[in-house]
Structure formats: structure tokens, C-alpha cells
Amino acid sequence: MLTIALLGFGVVGSGTAEVITENQDRIRRATGDGIEIKYILDLRDFPDSPFADRIVHDYDIILSDPEVQVVVEMMGGSHPAYDFTKAALCAGKSVVTSNKEVVAKFGTELLALAAEHSVHYLFEASVGGGIPILRALAHDLATNRVHSVNGILNGTTNYILTRMVEDGISFDAALAEAQQKGYAERDPSADVDGHDAARKIVILAAMSFSVRHNPDTISIEGIRNVKVEDVRMAALAGCAIKLIGHAEKTENQKLQLWVAPCAVPHENPLSHVNDVFNGILTDTDMLGQTMFYGRGAGKLPTAGAVVSDLTDIATHPYDVATAQHWSDGDSACLTDSATEEKARFLVILPPALDNAKLADALSAVAMIGNEEIGRCVITTGKITRAALDETLATAGKNASVYRII
Amino acid sequence: MLTIALLGFGVVGSGTAEVITENQDRIRRATGDGIEIKYILDLRDFPDSPFADRIVHDYDIILSDPEVQVVVEMMGGSHPAYDFTKAALCAGKSVVTSNKEVVAKFGTELLALAAEHSVHYLFEASVGGGIPILRALAHDLATNRVHSVNGILNGTTNYILTRMVEDGISFDAALAEAQQKGYAERDPSADVDGHDAARKIVILAAMSFSVRHNPDTISIEGIRNVKVEDVRMAALAGCAIKLIGHAEKTENQKLQLWVAPCAVPHENPLSHVNDVFNGILTDTDMLGQTMFYGRGAGKLPTAGAVVSDLTDIATHPYDVATAQHWSDGDSACLTDSATEEKARFLVILPPALDNAKLADALSAVAMIGNEEIGRCVITTGKITRAALDETLATAGKNASVYRII
């Protein structure tokens, strides 16, 4: 029997209790034994909950109980989540978390602390909700060299962009709809400005390359400036606009690491990941392209991922050889995406007679529209964003620009 | 150091040797130690291969060498692959295989034999090539109740269907192209008649429901009769025609288990799995829909899956609690898909004035085309295939029929 304590009894916490209760038979079969929730730490009381008798308000009760083997941190935010995690690891207890903020900011230190005490620090639920992507990177793809990871990592922004494509509504209208449906927070900044996706791509990059970068140091662009005309024109050019988290090792061993709305060609399976779903596309030396798709958020999918970490702990003792070990990366090892990365871009701009000349200057491989549809879409040749912006400025053009992945 | 022997030095065998050699550094990091190929059993000699000195022609050398911990069977076919597997397990050696025929036919017995000798029998490479779907079902989704699995499990047929959709060429022309490119065998029957997909869905169903059915007892329909008009009309109705392996638990605890070309709506991510790629969509109680996508065949992806099984063995001792245990299913537990399964169907037929009457009789939810495009597509209400066929016969109609998944 694995004895655990939950920190936080909100959406994910109560979902975790629900999954453990409902699927105890499956958990017994998968682990050879069950999981028992001994304590639930929350500021509130839950007198009507079947777990009312497990609620405690003092973390020391959990820390000092030698029966508690695993602490499941689902509080969100950096503090006190980080401090509670450290305390648990130092007390020789494994920690499972859904808290991407803590993993992205403090993962290197916490993994080292876990190794020091020979306990697990697992966080499958922190990226892609119910999608088992972290375990795939840690185990199935571990003998591969990862070239790149591209992910649709935020359900809220993907829902908004899907509505803009399918219903032709504006960003503001789609955001309001997402808020009404409960997919977006009243303050939607963490989602729509790309910070949530940034934490997740930082974690995916660390899993892929064993180096964690501070999410505050990477280039992040959200979707507030995506226009409904852009989305429609991109579709004409055979692309969907998606908010992409991107990590890629370059030939000179630097790392491309950023979040930005990109143009995803319809041949790329990520372009068909719609609504609140997430998708993560890995490109590795042996397996080639592999995509993992599923519900990136929500009570039960996230709780399901927490429980899969718990069954992992129940069935595998900590093993220093197979555990994650990260180092903290120097931001000098990140490429400057504007000046050091060459790519093709979709350039969407008002019709004009001299657009063909601009297309020429951009070594364009395609140009569609212009006067007849009130908008022009140029697919550039391979170029840096800085050179592209300079060419646009020289031509006196104001355009929407999306990197093609 | 994990010491292994390869049985068969064909495409997958030589690929496995290549992955182990090329990525030995990654393997060391993932396992804390390396993998050593001590023997390679093949009828042929390979004097120019760097592995020439490991080639043996007598299986007894491998069986009787106590240093060999794992036998990797990549011979294909039932015999002697099955017999060699049994002998290895009985000699206390773990077995890893890419041989779907042996797993689908003899998996129950071989897993029991492995358990008896406390060794592993793993076969990630037998389904979906490099896609880590079996480990996901065995571990990540193990605490979930699986409702259904739908898979595009055969790259050859998916390539043919993709060509028919994208280039409007016939099945015969697409098959010839696939053969020319090396995607289809000279005798393409195992692929195009659905037998390969049947073995894989039998394995996926066994992983999901712990019961293995004989692939010879399930309903299998291939893609030889798919017409290019069907593919075009299905697209008009918002669907792609795909060869689907389907496994689903019914409310009365029977199992739907079959292979057939189906109409997959464009909202379903499987509809966008094109070319030689495979996709497996699972629907489970906690995680909801999750899809795994990647290269379903090919030297390196398949070898990569073999190596991931080897690293699993290197890092985890056999554990009876977490190992697969199957029983053999009675075919009486399978539903009769024609009479016991209700579904919506796409009915594609020549234009006629009385098609609207037919649509009525089928409680149709949509009807498109007719005289104006030379073809009519009816989307039926929920109905059994038997009742649908009877209605068509009564109306004197000859139609192409695809179940909508």
C-alpha cells in the first residue's frame, strides 16, 4: 500500500482523490497493491466531502508522519509549493506534482534534492495534462537523440484560435466565449500571453536535452495580436495559426527555445489539433516524427496523470541511473531567434502593386491573393526574422508575420 | 551490461544492431549501463558486416550460454519464431520481439510462460512501429478503464488510401505505386486484406482488456473494394476513408473487435493520419481521447521500439504484479458486428429520384449530392449493418457502405 498526502483540494486535488477512489481496482492491478490517501492539506474544511476526516491544516503533521511515502503537491504558484516540496524531499518523501511553475523554475534543484535523498520527483501532470509525454521522453525516447519538440501546450489559446478559424470571430470575441465556457480565466494573461506555454516548453526541453532554462529568459509571444484576417489568409495558404512552444538543438549545440504563434502547414499533424486539445510532436533520430495528442487540462485528465506517477512510484524504487538529472542552462546557449534562426515565414499584408517586388526581395516560394481578395500572402524563402523585418521596413510595409514550422 | 542475442539479421535485426551501436551513449545514460550483442542467429553469413564475428547458425549456442539474458526475436512468421521464443523463456531468458503474428497467436501462452520463469516477454515493436503505444497502455493508461481503441495500424494501406484521396487515383494504381516505392510487398495480401491490422488490433485489445482473441475469428475487411469515387464523396461529406482496427467494450461486457475501412470525420484526429504513418486513438474513463501518432514501420523506428524494450529490461527486474497477464477469449464474447452493433454509416450510391425516400427509410441525418454531382451520399441514423443492408436490398440499391467512427 502506497500511503500519500495531497497538498491542495481544489480541482486537481479533488480529481486525484476521485480517480484513486473510483479506479482503486485498476490501481491494485497495476501496482499489485493500492494507494491510500492519509491526509489532505488545505486552508479550507470540506465537511460534506467523503474525505472530510483526512483534511489537515498543518503541514508538519504530514512531514512528521513516517507512514506518508509520497506528497502530491497540487497547490499551484511558486510559494509555498516550492518550500513544501523541498521539505518533503528532505524528509525522504517522494513528491508528485502538477505544478508547472515550480518545475520550470526550480526543477533542477528539486531533482538534485530528490537524488540526494533517493526519492522520486515526478511531474507528468505539469505538461499536456493527461498526455503521457514526459514518461515517453524519459523512457521510450530516452535512447533516441531528440532533434526538436514542437507543442500546442495551452488549451485556452488553442480553443480561441480554433474558434477564430472555424467561426471567423475576432480574438476578443473568442476570448470572451472561452471565458464564458470556463476555458479561460478572468485574467487570461498567463494563457494568452504565452507564459503557461513557456513553462511547459522549458520542461519539455529539459526532458529532451537535460538542460533547464529559466522561462523568464526565453522569447515569448502570445496570441493577442493574431487577427482573424491572418487566420483566414493562412488557411488559404494551407496553414493553421497555432501557438507553438518550440525547442530545437542547432548544429552548433545551441538551443532554439521560444513560444510564438506560428503557421503550421496542414501536412503537419499539429495543424489538426483543435479546441482545448494539446499535441506534442517530437522529432528524434531513430523514431522520426512522433505525436502525442490529448486533453491538456481538466480535472480528470490531469488527475489521471498524477495517478500514473503514483503507480510508477509504487512499482519502481528510485533509481539514480534512470531518474532525470538536469543542469541549469546559461541563456548565452540560447539562439537569438530573430538574428540566428533562418526559417520560412508567412507574410500577410494589404494588397498593393509592388507586393510582387517585395516577394522577389524575400526570395518568395509562393504568393497568393492580392487585389482580388483584399489581402496578399507571401511565403518567403529561408531568412532570418531580422532580415525579413528590415526588408519590410525598407519597403514601407506593415504586415502580419508568422514563422512556418 | 545487458547481454543479448538477435534472432534474424534482416531489416529490423540489422536496424537494432545499428541503433545499439550508434546510440550506445544514450543507452548507457538511460540504463546506467550498456547493451552488448553477443550473438546474431541467421541462416546467412555476413562477411562484410561489422557484426560478422557474432553470426551463429545454431540456436543451441545461444540457448546454452548463461551470459545471454535476452533473446530478441525478429524472424517473422510463426515457426520457428514461436518455438525459439518458448525455448528461450523456458531457459530463463527474457524475450523481446517485433513479431506481431506470434504475439497475436500465442501471446497468452508466452506471457504465462514468461511469468512462470520470472522473465520478460515484451513486444512494443509489434504494433505501431516506433510509437510507444503498448507501454502507454501497460503503464500510463493502466489505472484507466479503456472504453475503446481505434487505430490506423497499417502503413501500406494508409499510403494507398492517402494517394487515392490526394491524387484521385484508383486502388490498383495506388497499390502499384506503393509496390514501386517499397511500401507494399509483391504479394500485398497481408496488408491490403487487413490481416496485418487484425493482428495488431488483437494485441491492442489484449493490452486494453486482458483478453486475447484469435485473429482468425474476428471480422476482417480489407481495402480492395474501396473505390476512388467513394473516397471523393466521403470527403464531400467531411470524412476520410481509413482502414480502422476497432476494439470496444460494450455495456453487456461483450467486445467489438474488427478491421474494416471506415469513414472518419475530419474532427477525429485519425482522419489526418496520412501516408505511411500510423495513429492509435484511445478513449479511457479518466484521460478521455488520447492519440499516439508516428512511423508504424521501417527499419529504425521498429528497431527503436525494440531497444526501448531492452532498456526497460535493463532497468526493471521482472515484476509479476505489473507484467501483462492475458487469458484467451471465447469468440462467443465477440459481438456480431452486422447484427449487434448500431452505428451511423455513409451510404454512397448512384443518383436517383428515390434516394430521398431511401434516406428517409434510413433515418438519415444528412444527404448530399445526387443528380448534380453524379453521386449521392447519405449519412444514416443509428442502425445495424444488417438492417441497413436489408433496406438497401429492398430498395434494389447497390451502394458502397462505410461505418462512421
Same domain, A281 and A307: no
Domain range for A26 is 2-129+300-328
Residues of B with active-site annotation: 200
Contact B319 A315 (CB under 8 A): yes
Q: Does A301 touch chain B (CB under 8 A)?
A: yes
Asked if A274's CB is within 8 angstroms of B273's CB, the reply is no
Task: Provide the shortest C-alpha distance from residue B167 to chain A (in Å).
Answer: 15
- Tell me whether B1 touches chain A (CB under 8 Å): no
Is B163 in the same domain as B279?
yes
Residues A91 and A187 in one domain: no
Within this chain, do residues A276 and A348 fall inside the same structural domain, yes or no? Answer: no
CA distance B148 to B201: 11
From A71's Cα to the closest Cα of chain B, the distance in A is: 19
- Please spell the DSSP secondary structure of B114-183, one letter per residue: HHHTT--EE-GGGSSTT--HHHIIIIITTTSPEEEEEEE--HHHHHHHHHHHHH---HHHHHHHHHHTTS
| Cell, residue A297 | 487540462
Out of B292, B313, B347, pick the residue that ends a domain: B292
Confidence of residue A394 (pLDDT cuts 50, 70, 90): very high
pLDDT of residue A30: 87
Task: Note whether A287 and A319 are same-domain residues.
Answer: no
Q: Which of A93, A100, A200, A242 is catalytic?
A: A200
Using the 3D structure, point to which of A275, A295, A315 is the last residue of a domain: A295
Instruction: Calculate the dihedral angle through the C-alpha atoms of A252, A254, A260, A264, rounding to the nearest 10 degrees.
Output: 40
C-alpha angle with apex B332: B326 to B333, nearest 5 degrees? 50
Cell of B62: 545461444
The verdict on B280 and B308 lying in the same domain is no
Mean pLDDT for the stretch of residues A71-82: 96
How does DSSP classify residue B216?
G
Which residues in chain A have Cβ-Cβ distances shorter than 8 Å to B287?
A: 130-131, 294-295, 300-301, 304-305
Q: What percent of chain A has pLDDT over 70?
A: 100
**Residue A359 phi, psi (nearest 5):** -55, -40
Q: Do A27 and B143 touch (CB under 8 A)?
A: yes
Does A370 score more than 80 pLDDT? Answer: no
CB under 8 Å to A271, separation ≥6 — which residues? A239, A240, A242, A264, A265
H-helix segments, A24-138: 24-31, 59-63, 81-90, 100-116, 133-135
ipTM of the complex as predicted:
0.94
Say which of A19, A23, A140 has its CB closest to residue B308.
A140
| CATH number where B104 lies | 3.40.50.720
Chain A neighbors of B293, CB-CB under 8 A: 269, 289-293
The helix (H) or strand (E) run that includes residue B284 is: strand B277-284
Same domain? A33 vs A97 = yes
- Compute and round to an integer the Cα radius of gyration of chain A: 23
Q: Domains in chain A: how many in total?
A: 3
Give the nearest chain A residue to B283 (CA atoms).
Answer: A294
Residues A385 and A243 in one domain: no
- Please check whether residues A120 and A47 belong to one and the same domain: yes
Query: Which residues from B are below 8 Å from A320, CB to CB?
Result: 32
What's residue A309's pLDDT?
97
Q: How far apart are CA B110 and CA B95, in angstroms?
A: 10
Query: What would the pLDDT profile of A41-53 be if each residue is shown by its tens digit?
Result: 999 999 999 999 9
pLDDT value at residue A131: 96
Of A131, A290, A304, the CB nearest to B144: A304
Residues A212 and A69 grouped into a single domain: no
Tell whether the model's pLDDT for residue A114 goes beyond 80: yes
The per-residue pLDDT for range A190-234, each reduced to its tens digit, is: 999 999 999 999 999 999 999 999 999 999 999 999 999 999 999
- A350 and A319 within one domain: no
Does residue B267 sit at the A interface (CB-CB below 8 Å)? Answer: yes
Q: Is residue B97 part of a domain?
A: yes
Total beta-carbon pairs less than 8 A apart between chain A and chain B? 188
Beta bridge partners of A148: A248, A283
Question: CB-side exposure of A257: number of CA atoms within 13 Å?
Answer: 29
Most B-contacting residue of A33, A140, A211 (CB-CB within 10 A), to test interface: A140
Q: Does B32 touch chain A (CB under 8 A)?
A: yes
A241 and A362: one domain? Answer: no
- Model pLDDT for residues A123-160, shown as the tens digit of each residue: 999 999 999 999 999 998 989 999 999 999 999 999 99
β-strand pairing of A35-41 with A55-56? parallel
The verdict on a CB contact (< 8 Å) between B288 and A294 is yes
**For every one of its 405 residues, what pLDDT tens digit does chain B have, with 9 covering 90 and above?**
999 999 999 999 999 999 999 999 999 988 888 999 999 999 999 999 999 999 999 999 999 999 999 999 999 999 999 999 999 999 999 999 999 999 999 999 999 999 999 999 999 999 999 999 999 999 989 889 999 999 999 999 999 999 999 999 999 999 999 999 999 999 999 999 999 999 999 999 999 999 999 999 999 999 999 999 999 999 999 999 999 999 999 988 999 999 999 999 999 999 999 999 999 999 999 999 999 999 998 999 999 999 999 999 999 889 988 899 999 999 999 999 999 999 999 999 999 989 999 999 999 999 998 777 889 999 999 999 999 999 999 999 999 999 999
Q: Does B23 touch chain A (CB under 8 A)?
A: yes
pLDDT of residue A320 exceeding 90: no
Residue A149 within any structural domain of the chain: yes
The CATH number given to whatever domain includes residue A376 is 3.30.70.980
Which of A4, A273, A286 best probes binding to B when mutated, by most B CB atoms within 10 angstroms? A286
Classify residue B344: in a domain, yes or no: yes
Q: What cell numbers appear for B95 in the block? A: 524475450
Residue A333 is assigned to a structural domain of this protein: no
Query: Shortest CA distance to A133 belongs to which of A279, A320, A300, A31?
Result: A279
Residues of chain B with Cβ-Cβ distance to A267 below 8 Å are 274
Question: Residue B342: inside a domain, yes or no?
Answer: yes
C-alpha A179/C-alpha A189 separation (Å) is 12
Q: Does residue A16 form part of some domain?
A: yes
CB B379 within 8 A of CB B346: yes
- Contact state of A308 with B132 under an 8 Å Cβ cutoff: no
| B241 part of a folded domain | yes
Query: What is the rounded end-to-end Cα distance, in angstroms, of chain B?
Result: 47
CATH number of residue B250's parent domain: 3.30.360.10
Interchain pair A293, B292: CB under 8 A: yes
Asked, for residue B333, whether it belongs to a domain, the answer is no
